[in-house]
A = this chain, B = another copy of it.
Amino acid sequence: MKLTIARLAQAAEVGVETVRFYQRSGLLAEPEKPATGYREYSHADVQRIRFIKRAQTLGFNLDNIADLLELDGPQICDVTHELALKKLHLVEEKIAALQSIRDALQGMVLQCESKHERGVCPIIQSLATDEAKGSRKKAASSAAL
């Protein structure tokens, strides 16, 4: 079944502009433009976009995904395995960083809820002074929430 770009986009649950963006980024081939009429897309293109979207939900960026899509041959698994492992480590680091942020925030929230000096906010105090006690010193840089 041949599709126009709008129907491809709909089937893949993305916008038309996103399809074009993937084409510009080299993730998706642009079909030949016929002498008359519109470019035609296939179900394989739908699958390819879905692949991209699924890989994105696992934290792969479009560069990674381009690599994954390029893979061919009997050694594929070596490459994907390494890529997935690398990503896994990144995710674990990120989780650790966020956990240390969470601990710091929890501490602040609790302090705020317990009795404290009138007119002095412990959260502001803790941001205004350079203690670095507890969790804040270790991992929590580059949060990017």
Contacts and interface: CB of A to CB of B under 8 A. Distances in A.
Contacts of A143: 56-59
A123 interface: yes
A113 B74 CA distance: 15
Copies of this chain present in the complex amount to 2
Interface stretch (A1-9, A18-26, A31-39, A88-96): A88-96
Main SS class of interface, A = helix
A101 B141 contact: no
A134 interface: no
A98 to B, nearest CB: 5
Interface in A13-60: 47, 50-51, 54-59
Interface string A63-91: 00000100100101100110011011011
A80 B27 CA distance: 44
A123 B57 contact: no
Given A58-B140, A130-B50, A105 B80 contact: no
A24 B28 CA distance: 40
Q: Which 6 A-B pairs have the closest CB atoms?
A: A80-B123, A59-B143, A88-B105, A81-B112, A77-B121, A76-B121
21 contacts: A47-B128, A54-B127, A57-B140, A58-B105, A59-B98, A61-B145, A68-B127, A71-B121, A71-B124, A74-B118, A77-B116, A77-B121, A80-B121, A80-B123, A81-B112, A84-B109, A88-B105, A88-B106, A88-B109, A91-B105, A94-B98
